[in-house]
Amino acid sequence: MINWENADTLESWKKLLSLKGMVNVSEELASADAEKRIGEYSVPMAAGLSYNYAAKQVNEQILKTMQELSDEAQLIEKFEALYNGAVINTGEKRMVLHHLTRTQLGKDVSADGVNKREFYLNEQKKIAEFAEKVHSGKITNEKGEKFTDVCQIGIGGSDLGPRAMYLAIENWAKANNTHLMDAHFISNVDPDDAAAVLASLDISKTIFILVSKSGTTLETLTNESFVKEYIKKAGLEVSKHLIAVTSETSPLAHNSDYMQAFYMDDYIGGRYSSTSGVGGAVLSLAFGPKVFADFLDGAAEADKSATNKDIRKNPALLDALIGIYERNVQDYPSTAILPYSQALSRFPAHLQQLDMESNGKSVNRDGKPIDYVTGPVIFGEPGTNGQHSFYQLLHQGTNIIPLQFIAFSENQTGKDVVIEDSTSQKKLCANVVAQIVAFACGKKDEDPNKTFDGKRPSSLIHGKQLTPKALGALLSHFENKVMFQGFVWNVNSFDQEGVQLGKKLAKTVLSGKMDGALKAFAGLLI
C-alpha cells in the first residue's frame, strides 16, 4: 500500500534535516582523496552520459539517509504506480502517461477505451508517414513544390520543449545530413513575434503546425488567425499549409482548415509533451522520423534507469534527493542550469517551466498547506556566456546557489580551430573544469574583493557528444528528477492552477466587463 504523506511526517526527513552543513566540499576536493571522490561519486546515465556529484555537499552518512528517505517515502513505488496508470494528478483527477510516449515500463494502461501505449505509437507512426511524404514530395504546396520550412504555433509546453529540442539537434543534424527542413516557432501573443517570423519565411513553402491540446488557448488561436491572414494575403490555400496537434475532442480535430491532425490527450501535460506529437511533428519534419525515434530511445533508456531502488544506481533519483537536501536542509533558494553547449541554449528555459510549473506549490496533493519550502527558482544560460554575466553573483554573492553543469567532450559539427595550442572545444571544457573547482574551493587573497569563499556545490552531467539519443536521456533525467522531488514534497507535480487565474482575468479585461483594479490598470494600456 502506498502512503501519500507530507515530508515532515517521515522519520528519515527529520534525520536528514539534522545533517545540515556536514560537508565542506572545499576540503573534500582539496584533500589527497579528491581523485578517489571524483571517481566514486559518479553514476552512469543512459546514452553514454554520466552524473558526477563529487562537488556536492554530501558524504556517505547523508547518502545513506537519502536512501532511507527514498525508501520511507516509497519513491520508486510511486513511480511504478504512475507508469502503471494510477490517478497521480489529483488536481485534475487524471493519470500521468508521458512515459508511455517512449516506452512501456509496466503493465498495459487503458483509458477512453484504448490501450494508451498503442495509441501513442500509432500517432508517432502517422507523424512519421506524413513527414516521409513531405520529404519525398508526395505532399507538396499548391504549385507542386516541396515544402522547405516548418513553423510551430504554440505557447508554454507547446513551444519551450520542442524549441529547445530542435535547437539542441539542429547542428548535429546538419553535420550528419539529416537536417531536412528549417524549423521556426511563434509563441508570444505579441504581434511583433509572429510578424518577425513570418517576414523571414517563404510562406508558400512552409507547413504550419498549430499545437493546442484543448484547441482554445487564447494566445495560440490569436497567432493562428494572424498566420491564416498572411497565408490568404499571399493567395494561398490555408488547408494546404496547416496541420494540427491537438486532442480528439478539440475544435481543431476533424477541421477542414487542416490537411491533417495528430492527437494527444489529457494524460500528458504540456511541459512533459516533447516526446509526444507536440515535439514529434516538428522534429520529425525537421530531421526525419529516425532522428525522433532515436531521441525517444534515449528517453526510454533513462526512464528504465529511474526504476532502480538504489539511489547510487539511479541518477535521476539521486539528483532529486540532493536537490531536496539543498533546498530543505541547506536552505538554498535557487538552482542554476549551466550547459556548456550552445546547442542547449534554450534548455534552461524549458527546465524553468518543467520544474517551476510542476513543483511551485504550497499545498499538498490533498489541497492542504505544507510547512516546508518546495520547488527552487530555476535559471541559467550557456557557458561561457554566463561567466561574463551572472557568475559574479554565483561566485561572490551573499546567496549560495547550487549549480548543474552539462558538458560534452566533443562538439556537434566536428569543426574547430587550434588557437594558442588548443582547440575551441578544449577551451570550453577547460572552463567547465575550472568553474567547478573555483566554485567549490574558492581562493584566499589579502584583498577581500579578490577573495572567493568557495563552498558552492555543483554537479556535472557529461558525455562524449550531444546526439539525439543523449538529448532524450537528458530530457528524461530532468523530468524524472522533478517527479521524484514532487513525490517527496507530496505535491501534485502535474497540474498548473497558477497559470490559470491570469488567463481568466485577461478574458475578463477583453470582454470589457470589469471594475476595480482591472479597470484602472486597463486604462493605462487599453
- Catalytically annotated residues: 357, 388, 503
Q: How many C-beta atoms lie closer than 10 Å to residue 404's C-beta?
A: 24
8 Å CB contact between 160 and 269: no
The three cell numbers locating residue 14: 527529520
8 Å CB contact between 61 and 16: no
What CA–CA distances, in Å, run from 241 to 124, 186, 224, 231, 363?
Answer: 20, 15, 12, 8, 44
Q: How many C-beta atoms lie closer than 10 Å to residue 36's C-beta?
A: 11
DSSP string, 420-435: TTEEHHHHHHHHHHHH
What CA–CA distances, in Å, run from 270 to 81, 213, 300, 333, 526?
Answer: 21, 8, 19, 25, 30
Sorted by sequence, the CB contacts under 8 Å of residue 58 that are 6+ apart come out as 23, 41, 66, 322, 325
Residues paired with 337 in a beta bridge: 380, 404
Nearest by Cα to 79 from 397, 357, 501, 486: 486
Q: If 0-12 CB within 10 Å is exposed, 13-18 middle and 19+ buried, where does residue 182 land?
A: middle
Residues paired with 338 in a beta bridge: 405
3-state SS, residue 443: strand
